[in-house]
Structures are given as structure tokens and as C-alpha cells.
Amino acid sequence: MHQPELSGSFFGNMGENKNDFPYVTNETQDFIGGLIQKYQPQKIVEIGAIRNGKPGSLYSLVTTELKADNRVYTIESDGCSTHFFSDKSLSEQLDEIGNQIDFLILNPFRIFPAEILDFLIAFPYLKENAIVLLCDTLFEYEGSNNQFSSSVLYEIISAKKFNRNSVVISDLKQRIENSLKMLSYPLCNSNAVRVHSASDIVLGFQLCPDTYKYIKDLFVSLTTPWGYLPNRDYLAQYETFIEMHYDGLSLHLFKKAKMCARLRLDPRAKMLQDFSCSLFSKFKYILIYGKKERGKTLLELCQDFEIEIQGFVISDGRESSKEFEHIPVYSYSKIPFCAKETLILNTTGSLAVKTLLSNSKYYWIDFSTADVFP
């Protein structure tokens, strides 16, 4: 185990100032401060630290005590709110910060696979031998009520690993007490937020040659059941980034993991998969009736399963462009395909449309119900 040689408490003379950071315990403040003192990083980035539109406690801690605003950045992993940037993806924000990040703090959405995905995006920007800290870490794959993150990244990564006990605290009794805290960290508690904020668990590691050699292990780890499903836009951004910065096998593993997660967490995807195996192959043409939000969502799900959609259908008399999402749009009376070879997937809630399809020669399935597309 890697144990930096540290002396004293970096924030030992802060006195009452330590209470200014309620989300960070005194031990963790000493741990982070000791690492910064030891390694003297030139570029510190904290990901996923925004609280109510403001930088999180770790950012405030570092900038307040180190007076290091010129080399400390905090950004939100979902791109919705950041300290220096706004309305940009994580990779775009990191592009503006630049490479050679030598101290990374991951404080993501607290459930797997957030920490893996954010680290994979940040990894190409890290300097050789960079330090990475993982916040609020729990040795469980799935959290309770989205309150606790997992430790899959810490367990899987090939690197020099350490925790606050091994780095800062020399008193044996205190180390034992902290270890017991970790073992008793609640898996399920109605007061999870209160307990969580009072008992943070921070782990860390330092990159080494084996980290680069075995980085694919992290893509394999994504086959662990996901605790949530990121929205489609973010998944698309992750996929584009992985295709640019990693090899073909890594991209394949990510796509496979994403599909498994969608089938597990999205009942619509499972239903489509069942239909694609048993029904869709019997028709030469598949059309989607309606091109509003439900129609677009259904198209995206079909594309996930490589189900080819030949066109959108709209009711007669409605104005529309000739294409939508690069797919032809047909008025109902001008559908150019043979009815017996065509399956229509209806996404509209209109009773008139359902009556029209029921009295037609087309085969059709109703995807408009709220329980299918809320």
C-alpha cells in the first residue's frame, strides 16, 4: 500500500474554521490537505461538486485555505451548472481547463456507474502520476435512495491506493475507530442524508504504469448492474468520447453495458426487444404514427435495437416537412407501402387515430399508453 510520508496536520491550526465546511469532516480535511502539501499539485479539478448552484465544500476548503483560485476548478458532471462553465458537456469543460490535471476529486452522482463514467472522461486529461480522490465512497455496488456512491472504481483500478487512515492518522485507536465507522456505514437508513453528511468516506489512488495498461478493466466493470440510467443525451456524449479516446474493444464493452442497463432499467426497451424478436421481423416496413416527443423517443429506442424505421405517419391535413430526424414523413392516405407488409407503431393518444387504424388494413401496435411512454 502506498503511504506518503506526512508530518502533522495540514489544517491543524484552522481552529474553528474547520466548522465552515459541514460536508467535510476534520479527518478528511487533514487527509486532502496533507496530500496537497505532499504532492504540490499545479492543477486541481473537482467534478460533480455543485450544491444549489454554488461550488461544493471541498472546493471552498481548498481555495480558502490554500489561496489557490488560479489552479483550482470545480465543474458539474452533468453540464447543467458549473463554476467556470455552463451548458457544456463534461469533456467540453475539461477541454477548456486543459490537460495535465495532477489532482482530481471525483464527487459524482452518488450511485454506480457515475464514478466510472466520469473518471473515464477525465482520464485522458490527467497528468502522469496524478492523484485521484473518491468522495462519499461505500463498499457497495448500489446505493440506498441514491445517497451513497459505490467503490467499484477504487476496487477495480490498477493504481497505488490509499485512504485517510493510512496517510494522515498515526494514532492506532483513532484508526480503528475510523475503520469501524466504515464497516458500519448504513446501507439503508431513513435518515440517510444526516448520517451521510456526518460520516464521509474518502479514498484515493495515484496513477501508475499499470493504470494505463489495465484501463480496460473499468469498461469490463460496467457490466455490473447499474443503479440508474443516465439520460440518452449524456450516454451519447459518453459514447462519442469513448470512440475518440479509447480503442474498439472499449467502445464495444461500453455499448454492451449500456444496452444491458437499458434492458434492466427501462421496461419500454425490454418490450421493444421482445417485439423485435417475435414480430417486427415479419414486416418489410415499420412506420411510427406521430412525430412528437413520444414518436421521437420510440425512434431512439428502435435505433438502439437496430430496428429500421421506414417513415413517420401524420394525419391527413396536417402540415409537416418531408423529413423528420432524417426519416421520410407521410400523410396517412399517402403511405406508399403495401398494407399487408406494413406495421404501424402508434404513439398518439388520439381516439380518432386509433379508430382510423382499427378500421384500416394495416397491422398496428398502440404505444401511446402512459405506462409505456409516460
Domains of the chain: 15-262 (3.40.50), 268-366 (3.40.50.20)
Sign of the torsion formed by the C-alpha atoms of 181, 182, 188 and 192? positive
C-alpha 362: how far from chain center: 41
Closest CA to 242 of 215, 277, 270: 215
Q: How far is CA 27 from CA 111, 142, 196, 198, 205, in A?
A: 24, 26, 15, 12, 17
What is the C-alpha to C-alpha distance for residues 89 and 111, in angstroms, rounded to an integer?
20
Task: Provide the pairing of β-strand 203-206 with 160-163.
Answer: antiparallel
pTM over 0.75: no
CA distance linking residue 13 with residue 6, whole number of Å: 16
Q: Can you name the residues that pair with 72 across neighbouring β-strands?
A: 44
> What length does the chain have?
374
Helix axes of 232-245 and 114-122: crossing angle, nearest 10 degrees: 40
Give the integer Cα–Cα distance in Å for 209 and 229. 32
pLDDT in tens, the chain (374 residues): 233 333 333 333 333 444 444 455 666 777 777 788 788 888 888 887 554 444 455 555 555 555 544 477 777 654 333 334 445 778 888 888 888 999 998 876 667 888 899 899 999 999 999 999 887 676 544 444 444 556 788 888 999 988 755 544 444 555 455 444 444 433 333 333 333 333 457 788 999 999 999 999 999 999 888 888 888 888 888 999 999 999 999 999 999 999 888 888 887 777 787 777 778 888 999 999 998 888 988 888 888 888 899 999 999 988 878 888 899 999 999 999 999 999 999 999 899 999 999 999 999 988 887 555 55
Contact by Cβ (8 Å): 89, 62: no
pLDDT for residue 47? 84
d(CA 12, CA 24): 15
Q: Write out pLDDT tens, residues 180-219.
A: 444 443 333 333 333 333 345 778 899 999 999 999 999 9
* Alpha carbon distance 291, 285 (integer Å): 17
- CA angle, 193 as apex, 191 and 195 as ends, to 5°? 70
d(CA 103, CA 124): 13
Do the Cβ atoms of 349 and 294 come closer than 8 Å?
no
